[in-house]
Amino acid sequence: MNHSVLCYLEDTVKKYPNKIALTDATGDITFAQWRNMGLCLAEEIRRKNHKRAIPVFVYLPKSAMSLVAFVGVLYSGNYYTPTDVKFPFEKAKSIINALEPQVIITNRECAKKLMDGGIPSDNMIFVEDVDMTRGNLDSSLYLDTIIDTDLAYVLFTSGSTGVPKGVSIAQRSIMDYIDWAIHEFQIDETTIIGNQAPFYFDNSILDIYLCMSTGAHLHIIPEMYYAFPVKLLNYIVEQKINFIFWVPSALIGVANSGLLETIDCSCLKKILFCGEVMPNKHLNIWRKFVRAEVYANLYGPTEITDVCAYYVVNREFEDDEPLPIGKACKNTQIMLLDDQDNLITTKDAMGELCVRGTGNSVGYYRNPEKTMQAFVQNPLHNNYQELIYRTGDLAHYNEYGEIMFDGRKDYQIKHMGYRIELGEIETAILGIEGVQNACCIYNENVSEIVAVCKASENLTEMEIRKKLVNILPKYMIPTRYYLMEQLPLNDNGKINRKELKKHIMEDA
């Protein structure tokens, strides 16, 4: 009986101990090594803190070692939270504050940044100090204590007040997701995955756990390659990558480069994407030059374990047509609810997309208030407790009965695949001395975040930007800045976002 995602790893190690599991810029790791290194690390974690079900912060550069750390944390009976070491310290600090990790797995170089920021080193484990060469360790003592409702990870997403929200995901949710994906996309040991998603981003869950459970080979493609399409495509061809699950921005960049026409990427058989709207304009370029077996549009927020709906592209689309998000994954139900919480079953009526199923998160980490707002009793009955997740996304059914995504109810945006609350950027800008008011607008036409600020006379746009790079990750930094003497207000005295947006769209 599979009661942990680690059961999948144990099975794979039995079948393919010496097959390469992970490849990064520094080399390869086999499935047996992955497991054994993880177990060595688990021992070290237990030595540091013998408790179970404690939060462990993984602060390492994106690499195979990060995935060893994840497995180590899971074997130790705990759950992990990764972040990007390239983010400003403030971002890491806000996650540490929300998570209060009992153990931090890092290396000496990255730890310096944390220690300089005042994070004590006594609960840190430095991976270079851990002997990970021992083999054939017994995992049963660890495994027997894990059950599938134990947390596996907490991933933090943007929160409108500037405090990140930790989405807590249990082991069974990953297993449910992976079981569906293996079956739906026929993943096995011959699959060679080209990973794009950062490990703090839930799209990576599919890459990591498909590899772990099927014996597929996972290539952690160097992040820099995504800026250099020639290098990226050559890597795919050389490594014979046949499966990718990328954020649309990465696929759009490649389509725009024009290189698909000249570089033969026919090794790619399965091309999946998720994280934001994939324009057919760019997908059509891909479909024209790469005759993959499967193109699939996946949809879902972090709160339901990455994906709850999917559409396997099965017909032609005009460049300006929207792509469906399709139907619910197996063992998941999607309900479109109208303003009165009635279930929508007819076509064209728009409602909020809500999700029920094993994939649902158990809530926001140490945040019962936000949890209660988003995870609510199924409004269609009151017979027993059944929580559904309200995504805040709007959708409708088309003539084929497929779900079509219609945008957000609030100020959350998707920019380069990242989920961002404009309020979080506004909070950061308002925190800068001299700024009196601020409003952020997203210009979807050119994919730009625009900041409109009211500030004291001596503050320049450049200075605001310079301050922001120390607070926010790069993908959240506005591209354009406007300084105004007064922000336009609506009748309620609130910032008139509609009017600002109109100006900005015209100006661009």
Q: Which of 226, 235, 317, 375 binds another protein (CB under 8 A)?
A: 226
Nearer to another protein, 121 or 262 (CB): 262
Distance CA 8, CA 11 (A): 5
- Confirm or reject binding of residue 53 to another protein (CB under 8 A): no
Rounded to a whole number of angstroms, the minimum distance from the CB of residue 252 to another protein is: 11
Q: Which two tokens stand for residue 199?
A: 């490990």
Nearer to another protein, 43 or 84 (CB): 84
Q: Which of 49, 123, 145, 257 binds another protein (CB under 8 A)?
A: 257
- Confirm or reject binding of residue 224 to another protein (CB under 8 A): yes
Nearer to another protein, 375 or 475 (CB): 475
Q: Which of 89, 126, 228, 289 binds another protein (CB under 8 A)?
A: 228
Q: Which of 28, 30, 61, 86 binds another protein (CB under 8 A)?
A: 86
Rounded to a whole number of angstroms, the minimum distance from the CB of residue 508 to another protein is: 12
Interacting span for another protein (CB under 8 A) from 116-124, 161-169, 217-225, 485-493: 217-225
Q: Which of 3, 93, 231, 370 binds another protein (CB under 8 A)?
A: 231
Q: How does strand 20-24 pair with strand 217-220? A: parallel
Nearer to another protein, 228 or 375 (CB): 228
Tokens 């728009």 belong to which residue?
A: 350
Nearer to another protein, 314 or 479 (CB): 479
Distance CA 6, CA 193 (A): 20
Three-state DSSP class for residue 170: strand
Contacts to another protein from residues 438-497, by CB under 8 A: 462, 465-466, 469-470, 474-475, 479
Interacting span for another protein (CB under 8 A) from 135-143, 257-265, 278-286, 495-503: 257-265
Q: Which of 14, 100, 240, 258 binds another protein (CB under 8 A)?
A: 258
- Confirm or reject binding of residue 3 to another protein (CB under 8 A): no
Rounded to a whole number of angstroms, the minimum distance from the CB of residue 449 to another protein is: 12
Distance CA 429, CA 461 (A): 11
Interacting span for another protein (CB under 8 A) from 139-147, 200-208, 225-233, 340-348: 225-233
**Residue 84 CA to chain centroid, in angstroms?**
12
Nearer to another protein, 222 or 392 (CB): 222
Cβ–Cβ under 8 Å, residues 68 and 78:
no
Q: Which of 259, 267, 294, 376 binds another protein (CB under 8 A)?
A: 259
Nearer to another protein, 20 or 471 (CB): 471
Three-state DSSP class for residue 503: helix
Q: Which of 11, 179, 189, 223 binds another protein (CB under 8 A)?
A: 223
Rounded to a whole number of angstroms, the minimum distance from the CB of residue 30 to another protein is: 29
Neighbour-count burial for 403-428, b at 16+ CB within 10 Å, e otherwise = bbbeeeeebbbbbbbbbbbbbbbbbb
Distance CA 487, CA 484 (A): 6
Distance CA 208, CA 213 (A): 9
Distance CA 501, CA 441 (A): 6
Expressed in angstroms, the distance from the first to the final Cα of the chain is: 57
Rounded to a whole number of angstroms, the minimum distance from the CB of residue 476 to another protein is: 11
Rounded to a whole number of angstroms, the minimum distance from the CB of residue 24 to another protein is: 16
> Alpha-carbon Rg of the chain, whole angstroms?
23
Q: Which of 77, 162, 166, 229 binds another protein (CB under 8 A)?
A: 229
Rounded to a whole number of angstroms, the minimum distance from the CB of residue 105 to another protein is: 23
Cβ–Cβ under 8 Å, residues 161 and 147:
no
In this structure, what DSSP letter does residue 495 have?
A: B
Nearer to another protein, 226 or 235 (CB): 226
Distance CA 318, CA 47 (A): 59
Interacting span for another protein (CB under 8 A) from 90-98, 142-150, 251-259, 282-290: 251-259
Cβ–Cβ under 8 Å, residues 318 and 335:
no
Element (H, E) at 389: strand 387-397
Cβ–Cβ under 8 Å, residues 209 and 5:
yes
Interacting span for another protein (CB under 8 A) from 187-195, 250-258, 451-459, 484-492: 250-258
Neighbour-count burial for 355-366, b at 16+ CB within 10 Å, e otherwise = bbbbbbbbbbbe
Rounded to a whole number of angstroms, the minimum distance from the CB of residue 261 to another protein is: 10
**Phi and psi for 90 in degrees, rounded to 5?**
-55, -35
- Confirm or reject binding of residue 434 to another protein (CB under 8 A): no
Rounded to a whole number of angstroms, the minimum distance from the CB of residue 128 to another protein is: 21
- Confirm or reject binding of residue 227 to another protein (CB under 8 A): yes
Nearer to another protein, 216 or 476 (CB): 476
Distance CA 505, CA 186 (A): 44
Distance CA 503, CA 508 (A): 9
Q: Which of 53, 147, 230, 349 binds another protein (CB under 8 A)?
A: 230
Nearer to another protein, 167 or 471 (CB): 471
Distance CA 165, CA 129 (A): 32
Greatest Cα pair distance, the chain, in angstroms, is 70
394 Cβ neighbours under 8 A, 6+ residues apart: 350, 351, 352, 353, 405, 406, 407, 408, 409
Rounded to a whole number of angstroms, the minimum distance from the CB of residue 254 to another protein is: 9
**Where along the sequence are the contacts to another protein (CB under 8 A)?**
86, 223-231, 253, 256-259, 462, 465-466, 469-470, 474-475, 479
